[in-house]
A and B are shown apart, each in its own frame.
Chain A
Amino acid sequence: MIPELGHFALILALFLALSLTLLPALGVFRRSTLLMHSARPLAAGMMVMLSSAFALLAYAFLHNDFSVAIVAAQSNSELPWFYQFSAVWGGHEGSLLLWVWILSLWALAVALFSRQLPLDMVARVLAVMGAIAVGFLLFMLLTSNPFGRALPNPPLEGADLNPLLQDPGMVIHPPMLYMGYVGFSVAFAFAIAALWSGRLDVTWARWSRPWSIVAWLFLTIGITLGSWWAYSVLGWGGWWFWDPVENASFMPWLVGTALIHSLAVTDKRGVFKSWTVLLAIFAFSLSLLGTFLVRSGVLTSVHAFAADPTRGIFILAFLGIVIGSSLTLYALRAPTVLGSADYSWLSREVFLLLNNVLLLVAALSVLCGTLFPLVVDALGLGKYSVGPPYFNAVFVPLMAVLLAFLGVGPASVWKRSRGGELWRRLLPALIASVTVGLLLPVAYGGQFHAGVALTVCLATWVVLSSLVDLRGKLRNASSWRSGLGRLTPAYYGMLLAHIGLALSVAGVGLTSVYTEERDLRVAPGQQVELAGYGFLFAGTEPLRGPNYVAERGVVQVTRNGRPVAELHPEKRRYNARRDQVMTEAAIDAGFGRDIYVALGEPLGEGAWALRLHYKPFVRWIWLGGLLMAAGGALAAADKRYRLGRRRAQAAVAVVA
């Protein structure tokens, strides 16, 4: 009964989404305030229905209703409750429901926080979001119903969630990622609404800025968590594999990053409007394309989630309608005249344009790398797999150039910067970062390493030039305290995000070069050494988890005789999947280094194969990601977006 109620709620949500698409749109054409006013309650109604559907599906999971097909396929009665809950989105149908539920949350957020927007814009934005929901709900109800029953003979026990997904990171990673993916639907809806109304002006950029930043920050957290999950669970000690599924989330992030920068230019200076609107369309299109690539079975991936080609054609048709119609609208309605503002080649506008171009080229090269094997294959030119060597070869130089300019961009001014002054201000930072870059590899690693020198130099450059810019901002303040107080949260957000990027880059560079690892045979009581740490293997003990049995090793880590940590790597065998043995690595995390111990196999007489990793600065990669997200949060919280209306009207008056 409960699953049928959920199914019914989904059908009602479809009708509400249809109404949300048609009624406000009709209101806009007829200039009927009444119809336009229907947008907000309809969005709320859709959200209530989808929340009910989601809650009812979660109920089926938490109560082990194995008559529901996906519960039987993805869950198990022995699973701890939080993994039963996260098993809701452990497969195709459930993750679609999560997608569209999050879309309804975003639509409700737009309905609630759009008081300063003119009614016809609210109606347009929500109608576009409603149309997207219609597509996804139709897809779900016609091809992948999450409430489908396995009757008349339901299994007594579920097949269990893939052990790889039984990790705390996996409980929050997909919702965060989807918050980001789907969040770009708001920027997209604003872009479409602006093209539709013909009012592609500064106010549009002002409205969509906070939404885009929030979507971007969720996507940043999602990708960071995904990388951390790969590191701690996949057990290879790697943190990024250039896998199609990873690329699918990385492309919208790159374009989204370009979008939030481009929106800043359009907001502040009223230029690059067509470009910004195109980026908004691209960011959401790539989110949809990611869904298509992962779900259609066209691309195979080490993530190996279920894929079904019959669904592919539906997703493709949906993509064709959404992207095709929005690009047609763009071609017909985007302004052809360049913004009236003038700027020289040495200005902040141009630096931000460079940022956009570099990020877009990076996103396109990832797209090419992901699609190339498919295209070549379909044209019958042979079979290629494009691996990390391609991505690294293309990506690293692009990022190096991006970082080099990132130092100059914030220090430059709108319209026209004086080259001499820029040079004078940034020269100390330049000299310092080159010096640090040249010295650090020698001081830390004992010998010069060009790759380390370059990454350290660029990371230091980004941090120092940000600080130089901060000092420049404080120059005219009476005291540094009052000066710091006068700067906007958006400015601090930018500083934080840029420093976060520098941290990530430094982490990537240093950990790639200085990681040490050893595979050893150890007997109980034996001590081994790696990177100045002693590892005393005390033996193993059996352990019984909620839904698995394990062999747990005890490893005491010391440095110069002083204890550092006691680590407990495990070998787990899950009850529902006896053929799959999982390695749970034990990690002693630290700001400057991670110590990673994984249990190999028993070698008899209590001896085990032990894998030890010493990974310096690996945590900086994710710390940087979190700083970027925190920067995004600060920027989005800037109160100038909340005072939007009066200022926006003033801006219109000025531009007019």
Chain B
Amino acid sequence: MQRLKLFIPLLIFVILAAFFFVVQKRIGSGDYDPQNMPSALLDKPMPAFELPDLLTGDPVTGALLHGKVALVNVWATWCPSCHYEHPYLVSLAQQGVSILGVDYKDEPEKARQWLREKGNPYAAVVDDRAGNLGLDLGVTGAPETYLIDSRGVVRLRYQGPLDERVWTETVQPLLDRIRSEGPGA
């Protein structure tokens, strides 16, 4: 009996190892990507928040998003992919897409400099220095982008940088569908 107890650590390890093996196998075969999972928030309302505006310091709440289809883009100056993504966001903004920026776990003065140098595609940027909104959204890394419909419901989560290809293949079709649902949707 005593001897059997000594097998407990091994048993726990075997379970853990089997789990990791399955995860790794699925990553290898491409049908699971730990970085790209639909959000638990999908088809649920955008979490409520009240955070200071990065540029003015005034409080910004979810009310800003009410009544329109908008993107919520989580970014930071420490994230290399955000550098890649930024010019595309600027061109989206020029096409009239409304984007709320969430400056995630970042240094505000760096972020302000970034916007001044690279252009500001955001209707507003909130300063989520503590990462609380990111936590509510279930952010695991930056950049991440959420599509919010006019009722404030999360319709899409995309992890990784947005570009032309992602936009035409993933975001645009959904955007067309949401718009075809008509106002109030």
Contacts and interface: CB of A to CB of B under 8 A. Distances in A.
Interface stretch (B88-96, B132-140, B164-172, B175-183): B132-140
A383 B39 contact: yes
Interface residues of A, number: 52
Interface string B25-56: 11110001011011110000000000000000
B23 A298 contact: yes
B24 A324 contact: no
B34 A300 contact: yes
B105 A328 contact: no
Contacts of A297: 27, 34
B27 to A, nearest CB: 5
A294 interface: no
Contact of A328 (B10, B129, B141): B10
A148 interface: no
A236 B21 CA distance: 37
Interface stretch (A33-41, A329-337, A638-646): A329-337
B17 A374 contact: no
Contact of A304 (B21, B22, B79, B83): B79
B24 A327 contact: no
Contacts, number: 122
B107 A235 contact: yes
Interface in A330-354: 330-332, 334, 336-337
Interface string B48-85: 00000000000000000000000000000011100100
A373 B6 CA distance: 29
A605 interface: no
Nearest to A379: B19
Contacts of A601: 109, 112-113, 116
B28 A327 contact: no
B140 to A, nearest CB: 6
A378 B19 contact: yes
A278 interface: yes
Contacts of B141: 300, 304
B135 A387 contact: yes
B9 to A, nearest CB: 5
B140 A331 contact: no
B113 A611 contact: no
Interface in A283-331: 285, 292, 296-300, 302, 304, 309-310, 312-313, 316, 319-320, 323-324, 327-328, 330-331
B14 interface: yes
A375 interface: yes
Contact of B109 (A281, A312, A375, A583): A583
B20 A316 contact: yes
Interface string A355-388: 0000000000000000001110110001111010
A609 interface: yes
A143 to B, nearest CB: 13
Nearest to A387: B135
B24 A313 contact: yes
Given A324-B13, A389-B135, 16 more contacts: A236-B105, A236-B129, A281-B9, A297-B27, A312-B27, A313-B24, A313-B28, A316-B17, A330-B9, A331-B3, A336-B6, A377-B34, A384-B40, A387-B131, A387-B135, A600-B113
22 contacts: A236-B105, A304-B78, A304-B79, A320-B21, A327-B10, A330-B6, A332-B6, A336-B2, A373-B140, A375-B19, A378-B23, A382-B40, A382-B138, A384-B40, A387-B131, A581-B110, A581-B113, A583-B110, A598-B107, A600-B112, A601-B113, A611-B109
Question: When A and B form their complex, which 3 residue pairs have the shortest distance between CB atoms, in order from nearest?
Answer: A600-B109, A382-B40, A336-B2
Interface of A: 235-236, 274, 278, 281, 285, 292, 296-300, 302, 304, 309-310, 312-313, 316, 319-320, 323-324, 327-328, 330-332, 334, 336-337, 373-375, 377-378, 382-385, 387, 389, 519, 579, 581, 583, 598-601, 609, 611
